[in-house]
Amino acid sequence: MPESTATEFPEMEKILVKIISSQTLHCQWLNLLSYLEFTGSRKIFKTQQNRYIGESVLKHASDEARHALLLKQMLGRIQSDEHYRFYDYKHMICPFSGYRYMQSLDSMVKRRLQESADYAPEFNYLCYIYVSFVIEVRANWLYDIYARLLAEAGLEIKLDGIINDEIRHLDQMKKEIDVLDKDQDTNIRFFLAREKILFERFLLNLQKAIVRK
């Protein structure tokens, strides 16, 4: 398997410092993360057929739903405002852009795997594995930075449990790719390069949103 690390974006740290320093931005950010975790969980169930939904898929989807809950609870400890009770787009930072990032990853992976008939029998499952793989690579990178900055700011928000789950998910996806895809080297390089473009677009929107606040 080729190197599977996320493209670094040094500006992420500055953005997160700004977010953490404002209670409103921080609540909107936690609400967004929770929403994206929830979207990930829902996406797993929506896209997988019964014959692939075994213990590992059930565990993965329920972990992501639990992350959504944990982030919502962390948010509740910062601010008990009614606004943040649900996933109201008005009370998240860059919700459209975050959602579009995930949707675009999905379409990008699908388009690529559709090009080869070899993947037809396990097409949906492999799409799920690759989309999860690129998201987990990014999530591991992002949660690490976020956790470090939270600790530096002296905030009592602990992401260790979530981070350990994301590390495990990434390992799982790698194992599945090893078994299922003999062209994994070129595919992984392609997917990570595309993910970089999509994440950069999200990041630009995040930067703009912060400047406006």
Would you put residue 94 in left (φ > 0), alpha (ψ -120 to 50) or beta? left
Token digits for 124? Answer: 């949906």
Interaction between residue 166 and Fe ion (CB under 5 A): yes
Q: Closer CB to Fe ion, residue 65 or residue 209?
A: 65
Q: For residues 200 and 105, give the distance between their C-alpha atoms in angstroms, rounded to a whole number.
A: 13
CB 204, min distance to Fe ion, A: 23
Buried b (16+ CB within 10 A) or exposed e, 81-95: eeebeebeeebbbbb
> Could you say which of 159, 169, 184, 199 contacts Fe ion (CB under 5 A)?
169
CB 166, min distance to Fe ion, A: 5
Q: Closer CB to Fe ion, residue 26 or residue 138?
A: 138
Packing angle of the helix pair 55-78, 160-180 (nearest 10 deg): 150
List of residues 6+ apart from 179 with CB closer than 8 A: none
CB 37, min distance to Fe ion, A: 5
- Single-letter amino acid, residue 113: L
Chain residues 32-71 in contact with Fe ion, contact rule CB under 5 A: 37, 64, 67
Instruction: Choose one: 20-28, 104-112, 149-157, 168-176; the region binding Fe ion (CB under 5 A).
Output: 168-176
CB 136, min distance to Fe ion, A: 5
Q: Tell me the site size for Fe ion, rule CB under 5 A.
A: 5
Residues that bind Fe ion in the complex, under the rule CB under 5 A: 37, 64, 67, 166, 169
